[in-house]
């Protein structure tokens, strides 16, 4: 399923209203039977500023894809992980981008897919 070098965005499910949004972005180092070893960076929402801050030091996480507490997105291969930024729009939506080739709305806020004209 996953191969070495695949790029992932891992969203930790918020279990309680007061939980802060947490993300991990990195590259697959190994994958076996639902366990994935990912090298990358963690991002958390600062409750005071509302901005998403990344940890400067790289981490290696071993994650269970069947845990039920993770949402995992496979990113395009050309995503520039070193340039990843999170931004929040005026409606509370969250976008993750590398500022060049990759951008994705990861909002928990539903969008009207059939807006009235």
31's CB contacts (< 8 A; 6+ apart) are 1, 2, 3, 4, 37
Q: Which domain does 47 fall in, by range? A: 7-79
Has residue 23 been placed in a domain?
A: yes
Q: How far apart are CA 66 and CA 9, in angstroms?
A: 16
Confidence (pLDDT) at 17 = 77
Has residue 97 been placed in a domain?
A: no
- The two tokens of residue 77 are 């291969």
**Does the pTM exceed 0.85?**
no
Has residue 102 been placed in a domain?
A: no
- Going residue by residue through the chain (117 aa), what tens digit of pLDDT does each one get? 899 999 999 998 877 777 777 899 999 999 999 999 999 999 987 777 777 778 778 999 999 999 888 999 999 999 999 999 888 777 777 889 999 989 998 876 665 556 565
Confidence (pLDDT) at 14 = 76
State how many domains the chain has: 1
Has residue 114 been placed in a domain?
A: no
Has residue 11 been placed in a domain?
A: yes
Confidence (pLDDT) at 65 = 92
Has residue 116 been placed in a domain?
A: no
Has residue 94 been placed in a domain?
A: no
Confidence (pLDDT) at 2 = 93
Which residue in 61, 54, 59, 55 sits closest to 96, CA to CA? 54
HSE of 75 in the Cβ direction (CA atoms, 13 Å)? 26
Has residue 54 been placed in a domain?
A: yes
Confidence (pLDDT) at 79 = 95
């Amino acid at each position: 399923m996953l191969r070495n070098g695949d790029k992932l965005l891992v969203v930790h499910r918020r279990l309680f209203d007061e939980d802060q949004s947490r993300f991990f972005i990195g590259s697959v180092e190994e994958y076996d039977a639902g366990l994935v070893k990912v090298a990358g960076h963690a991002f958390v929402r600062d409750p005071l500023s509302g901005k998403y801050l990344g940890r400067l030091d790289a981490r290696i996480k071993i994650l269970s894809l069947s845990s039920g507490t993770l949402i995992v997105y496979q990113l395009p291969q050309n995503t520039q992980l070193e340039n990843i930024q999170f931004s929040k729009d005026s409606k509370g939506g969250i976008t993750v981008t590398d500022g060049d080739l990759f951008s994705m709305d990861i909002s928990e806020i539903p969008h009207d897919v059939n807006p009235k004209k």
